[in-house]
Amino acid sequence: MKKAEEIGFASLMVIVFAVFVILGWGYAKRPRIVPLTLSIPGLALSLLQLGNLIAKAKRPSKAQQLDARSKPVEKSASVPKPPLSAETRKILEIWTWIVALALGVNFFGFMVALPIFLLGFIKFFAKRTWKLSVLISASFTLAVYLIFYVGLKTNL
C-alpha cells in the first residue's frame, strides 16, 4: 500500500512538473527563464525518484527472497482486490467533511456552516453525545461572532 502510494505521489510530481515545463515553453523569452530553469530540473529529479521507486518495488525484499526460497510460489489466477482499508475510509471521510465545510461556507457563510460542521462532526465522526456536540459548536460559534463580528468588525 505504502509503495503504491509512494509511486502514485511521485507520478503526480512528474505530471505537475511536466505541465509546468510544457506551459512554460509557451511564454515569452523573459517570463519563461525562471520557470524553465526550475521546472526542468524538477521534472528530471522527480522522474529519477519515480524510477528509483519502481525499481525498488520490482526488486523483492530480503524477507520475500527468503520466503521464496523456502516455499514454492503459488500462482493464483484471480486474486480478489482488497476492499478499502479502515484507514483509507477514515481519511476519505475526513476530507469529505472538510470539503463539505468549504461548500457550506461558500453557499451559506461562516455563521451557518461552522455550527453545522462542528455539530455534525463531533456527533457523527467523533461519536460524542448530542449535549457535548451542541455545547462545543454553540460556544465556538458565539466566540467567532464576538471576536470577528463584534470585536474586529470583519466581514466573514
Q: How far apart are CA 148 and CA 125, in angstroms?
A: 27
Q: How far apart are CA 148 and CA 43, in angstroms?
A: 44
Question: What is the nearest approach in angstroms of another protein to the Cβ of residue 24?
Answer: 8
Nearer to another protein by Cβ, of 68 and 91: the residue is 91
Q: Which of these segments, 31-39, 56-64, 72-80, binds another protein (CB under 8 A)?
A: 31-39
When asked if residue 28 is in the footprint of another protein (CB under 8 A), the reply is yes
C-alpha cell at 23: 506551459
Nearer to another protein by Cβ, of 19 and 68: the residue is 19
Nearer to another protein by Cβ, of 78 and 155: the residue is 155
Contact 115, 139 (CB under 8 A): no
Contact 121, 95 (CB under 8 A): no
Among 25, 59, 65, 90, binds another protein (CB under 8 A): 90
Q: How far apart are CA 137 and CA 117, in angstroms?
A: 8
Tell me the Cα Rg of the chain. Answer: 25
Helical pair 2-25 and 29-58, crossing angle rounded to 10 deg: 160
Give the binding site for another protein (CB under 8 A).
Answer: 5-6, 9, 13, 16-17, 20, 23-24, 27-28, 30-31, 33-35, 38-39, 41-42, 45-46, 48-49, 52, 87, 90-91, 94-95, 97-99, 101-102, 105-106, 110, 114, 117-118, 121-122, 125-126, 128, 132, 136, 140, 144, 148, 152, 154-156
